[in-house]
Structure 1
């Protein structure tokens, strides 16, 4: 839960962290976390504590929400950063909408031990929605924020479901890494370097490099077994729940939509995207792609940013 705003029904010394779910402080966004039990035996208690604590924050009425939204909009400097007054309004808006990520996660009907993973992903999206909310457009914050939160929750669920399970402690570390990278991308407006992520998580850059190597090489169920093979790793696993014809049709529709989105990219944008995100194999750094393309690291970053904007708009359509 974001600190420095005390809900009307809670005692200040009882306000344990909620929003950060396994993340350290987000700079000017002061958040903390409900710690999870290393052996997962206390997961139910963790979820119960989370629900009890967010319940202490009263729901916002329409007029209060409009007031906070306008304070946030007015409380930004020329660079778009929140002023102290804007920060206070932002924190109250977010804290009093912490139910939204839980409701989005609950719809996924996951085991309790995975619930906080999904809630954490939703909370990162909640932060982004709180910063961008424009109350004067006439819609409620919950309507504006919920679909972004739900998308983040579904992406996290997709990660949990579509990769071969790693040891629990390593899986938790990779989860922290993903959330830290997402928070830093939101804060910095670009992909963070190893040193920045290491400072954020209070660990060594070597540890981040090690985790990213696991992240890159954890075998996706959709990854081909060889460069010229159409057989995927998932095809070699026993399928206890055979895919229905409807699911096959849905998958085909998704692939068609994906092709349409990718077709919007220029040849260079497509090439940078393929190399940067490992669509053909290993993910490359900005420096490595710059050397291949004969341009600077910053130019590759600009090309990647332009491609991601096009992809984001295409997916939203």
Structure 2
């Protein structure tokens, strides 16, 4: 007698959502949703892997991921024709990012970035289900009615979470702390080398652009300080720097190839 293979998680998820659509009562619908949640708990745990080791306990991350999974199950509309995972994963990760935004920052980004992150987290799941894929920054910007560059900055502001202690062991099973492996860096040498490499590129910039680069990367000035010096807002400085870096990168590649 040939054994019948158990249905895959994906197939069983589709079957349960079909049953939920035909549910005759709120209690029946709730029971099916509970089965869907238990069936996909491993998916929620797997979605937290990229966030581990950033200062929040793994157990806490998993609990937050389960909250995201519950929201995904309750909010998913199978009639739109997309796979459940294409909606669940961004919903779960959005919930985890929201948790980091509220509790995990050691250095908080500007309020405009935080507010943009909140809006992006709220709309990502919806856009995933509409498009059947990850939304592009331009699509998020159009959906929210905000600048694309602000969306890019908000998506990129993921490095300010709680840092690892320098007194922690370098590797598991070792006693030497990370701090003992840190070498001394002569900042003056690095700056001189950077100036020499970038000299041909900097020569092609306007005086204003040269000042922006000088203040930001050689003097260590903040964007707010640069804005005050050249008479623009901090956000405008951020945009100018983004464009400048793109131009300089292209020019540098040309110089290196020539």
Instruction: With the length of structure 2 as denominator, give the TM-score of the two structures.
Output: 0.36
| Higher share in helix | 2
Q: Which structure has the larger Rg over C-alpha atoms?
A: 2
Instruction: With the length of structure 1 as denominator, give the TM-score of the two structures.
Output: 0.30
